Structure 1
Amino acid sequence: MAHGLGGTKDSGLEPFARAFAAAGLEVLLFDYRGFGGSGGEPRQVVSLDGQLEDYEAALQAAADLPGVDPSRLVLWGISLAGGHVLRAAADRDDIAAVVSVVPMVDGLAAALHATASHTPGELLRSTARGIRGRLVSRSGRAPVMMPVVARPGEVGALTLPGALEDYLSIAGPTWRNEIAAEVTLELGTRKPAAAAARVDAPLLVQIADFDQSAPPQAAAKAAFKGRAEVRHYPCDHFDLFPGKPWHDAARDHAVAFLVRHLASTKVTADA
């Protein structure tokens, strides 16, 4: 299990993990390189390929734990990581189930989706910051940073009304509200939805129907390609996190899905 864009494992994920552990599943919850409790330099820099490698490393680490059946691994990801898990599970025969929560699965669709809730000026400022960040990183200098979440009208990766307050409500002690700006350029080039058709394991996709951050239509298309079980929630992107109206339902649906497909898994937890 891992978080989305700029997230850390102590920021709203532990309640999901503890629910899975209580249901008899073994849980390995991790931070990406350069974030939270994980090592790596530079800090707060998102590499989509690097995060995918981190998922693959976590799968190997989980498979090596005592008592774990290495042929029955599960992937869980939320937001940006909801796309990572599709890519990580594709073309593997050791994955027993996948849970993709409010997933970001199509960068171009997300960019078009953003035009409905952001002014052209806001989008231009974020893109300009990303371009400057890319140029600076290629020169070998320290990354250009931007907030993960900010208020509407400010520069940030997520600037929708309420996004700052929503993220702060789940933020753990290791979370930092900054991220390397060049990720804004990388996001638009990725389409993990294409990997959904190559996921052979049972797949649960949990969609927030009024999601202003991750396009729900793109998530639904990916779910169809992956022959997924789909759960819809009449809410926005952050409303499936702990303390929000639809968290309990999303958590319980995921638990039921995993128990149904992993009924023989034994109990331990490392959250």
Structure 2
Amino acid sequence: MSHAARGKPSRYAFSTRRVEFDGRQGHLFTPDRPADAPIVVLAPGAGLPWRATLEPTVERLAARGYAAFAFDHRGFGHVDGDHLLSPSRQRADLDAAVEAARDAPEVDGDRLALWGLDLSAGTALAAAADAVAVDAVIARFPVLAGARLLPSWVRPRLRGLGRGVADYPVSALGRLRGVDADERGLRVPLFGESDEVAAIAADGATRAVRDVLGREPGTAPARSLVKLQRHDVREAVEGLTCPALFVAGEHDEFAPPEPVVAATDDVRNASLVRVPASHYGALDGAELERTLNYELAFLDAEL
């Protein structure tokens, strides 16, 4: 099916190339015009590779005249395969991606914005608060506290956290024995329902992610739950000074709109938009177009 028939931007409007950086891999989308386009660095949502989730967004940014740099966090996509959900590791990945994007000769690295989805949106906000050279940040359906992603039912959450604590010594022993990263230690489903033991749990999560990926999402190291339980960037985000757009989904089962709205109250230069979208429904189609209209208008104003 042609790009036009699918409602996608024409590939003639931009070029792409793979970028290796610090042992990681990213993809740079560069528009044909302007020649010195501002750059948007995009991080995928928790537990997902960039291509399955961000490609329509990245293509539309490039067609609009923005360079876009998308990458996979370590452990996902083509980078390793352990599926460890580690916010600190993902922050290091984002910092490295920003440096790689800023150094690309095709773009204007002095005009740079960050973009993130759910857990990566919180990471992007915290990174922008720490950096003086970030001009704007978009947080689509942000998750600022990792515990938000854990099972909401007490028993599966406690069982998962207990399994996560036990995973540390078991995983270390597996590493000493040379067990592959994606097989060592104790593992739990990467996605599950709110009453199940899983690293990321919400009602309808299993089916929604399966539809996005076209396959089962697999498993994650159980210690991911411990790392998520400890993760909280709300205080860091309060120090954000660059313009920020918070996007809340009215039908979002992972990042309900109420905490997103509350977070904007503590950020000095924040804008808020609420869209009638679900968490993964806004990755493509009509929900994406509606959401992107707001995000593109924000970028046009700030970059």
TM-score w.r.t. length of structure 2: 0.75
Structure 1 runs (4+) deviating above 6 angstroms are: none
Residue of structure 2 equivalent to 1:89: 128
Work out the number of aligned pairs and report it: 253
Letter in 2 for 1:150: G
Secondary structure of the residue that 1:250 maps to in structure 2?
A: helix
Letter in 2 for 1:134: Y
Query: Could you tell me how far apart the structure 1 residues matched to 2:129 and 2:255 are?
Result: 21
Residue of structure 1 equivalent to 2:104: 65
Tell me how far 1:135 sits from its aligned partner. 3.5
Query: Could you tell me how far apart the structure 1 residues matched to 2:142 and 2:161 are?
Result: 22
Percent of matched pairs sharing the same residue: 30
- The structure with higher relative contact order (CA 8 Å, sep 6+) is 1
Secondary structure of the residue that 1:35 maps to in structure 2?
A: coil
Residue of structure 2 equivalent to 1:223: 264
Greater Rg over alpha carbons, structure: 2
Secondary structure of the residue that 1:10 maps to in structure 2?
A: helix
Q: Is the 8 A contact 2:115 2:138 kept in 1?
A: yes
Higher share in strand = 2
Q: Is the 8 A contact 1:9 1:30 kept in 2?
A: yes
Secondary structure of the residue that 1:22 maps to in structure 2?
A: helix
Residue of structure 2 equivalent to 1:157: 199
Tell me how far 1:149 sits from its aligned partner. 1.6
2:208 to 146, 149, 166: 166
Q: Is the 8 A contact 1:193 1:219 kept in 2?
A: no
Query: Could you tell me how far apart the structure 1 residues matched to 2:279 and 2:103 are?
Result: 34
Tell me how far 1:210 sits from its aligned partner. 4.4
Residue of structure 2 equivalent to 1:213: 254
- Deviation digits for residues 106-149 of structure 1, max 9, x if unmatched? 235x27x953xx3x333233223322223423445423222222
Residue of structure 2 equivalent to 1:12: 53
Q: Is the 8 A contact 2:244 2:270 kept in 1?
A: yes
* 1:93 to 1:172, Cα distance in 2 relative to 1, 3 A: farther
Tell me how far 1:191 sits from its aligned partner. 1.6
Q: Is the 8 A contact 1:194 1:222 kept in 2?
A: no
Q: Is the 8 A contact 1:145 1:179 kept in 2?
A: yes
Residue of structure 2 equivalent to 1:183: 224
Whether 2:67 is the aligned partner of 1:26: answer yes
Q: Which runs of 5+ in 2 are unaligned?
A: 1-41, 176-183
Query: Could you tell me how far apart the structure 2 residues matched to 1:152 and 1:194 are?
Result: 26
Q: Is the 8 A contact 1:79 1:102 kept in 2?
A: yes
Question: How large is the Cα RMSD of the aligned pairs?
Answer: 2.4
TM-score w.r.t. length of structure 1: 0.83
Whether 2:82 is the aligned partner of 1:43: answer yes
Q: Is the 8 A contact 2:53 2:212 kept in 1?
A: yes
